[in-house]
Amino acid sequence: MAWSSPMTAVAGATFTAAQFNQFVRDNLNMTAPALASAAGQIFVSTAANAIAARTPGVATIATSQTTTSTTYADLATVGPSVTITTGTQALVWFGALISNSGANSSRMSVAVSSASTVAASDAWAAVNVGTSANRIFSAHMFTGLTAGSNIFTAKYDVSAGTGTYVNRELFVIPL
């Protein structure tokens, strides 16, 4: 079933069952009410004349955990992580209460796996420098994803010292 550009009626012509099914039934079945399956979904375009319902996802980890890794890695509790169906784009918001044992940077970034493969990067990291604990957040629009089920996972590293992360949050708006 797909969207068909609606026919133009002609006075005196017969309106057939096949025309009703193609231009009324099938087109109505491509509209938002027909595709709406759960409260909280939003609609995005997936191609010309095609839309899909998307459900935002959120994950949190409250436990305070640390790392001394200078390359992006997991903490003792992996994540937070969100598995979600996306198109080729997703808007991600993430952060935590972040501090370091010394005058060094502590970073939190996001990697993508499963349908897509994108490594965590400083380019979209949430960064705090020094020993003062601050609640730091960052946002990133991932583009060029492979449509399908994608897993977004928070990753962490430091420039030196020990980074501490508390109340870690990650939420994803799939597009």
Interactions with other proteins, residue window 23-62 (CB under 8 A): 24-25, 28-29, 31-34, 36-43, 53, 56, 58, 60, 62
Interactions with other proteins, residue window 95-154 (CB under 8 A): 95, 97, 99, 131-135, 137, 139
Stretch that binds other proteins, among 21-29, 66-74, 114-122, 152-160 (CB under 8 A): 21-29
Q: Is the dihedral of CA 128, 129, 130, 132 positive or negative?
A: negative
Q: What string of H, E and C letters represents the secondary structure of 85-114? A: EECCCEEEEEEEEEEECCCCEEEEEEEEEE
Q: Does 167 bind other proteins (CB under 8 A)?
A: yes
- 153 close to 71: Cβ distance less than 8 angstroms: no
Query: Could you identify the residue written with the tokens 């970034």?
Result: 109
Identity of the residue, 69 or 134, whose beta carbon is nearer to other proteins in the bound complex:
134
- Applying CB under 8 A, the residues found at the interface with other proteins are 15-18, 20-21, 24-25, 28-29, 31-34, 36-43, 53, 56, 58, 60, 62, 93, 95, 97, 99, 131-135, 137, 139, 167, 169, 171
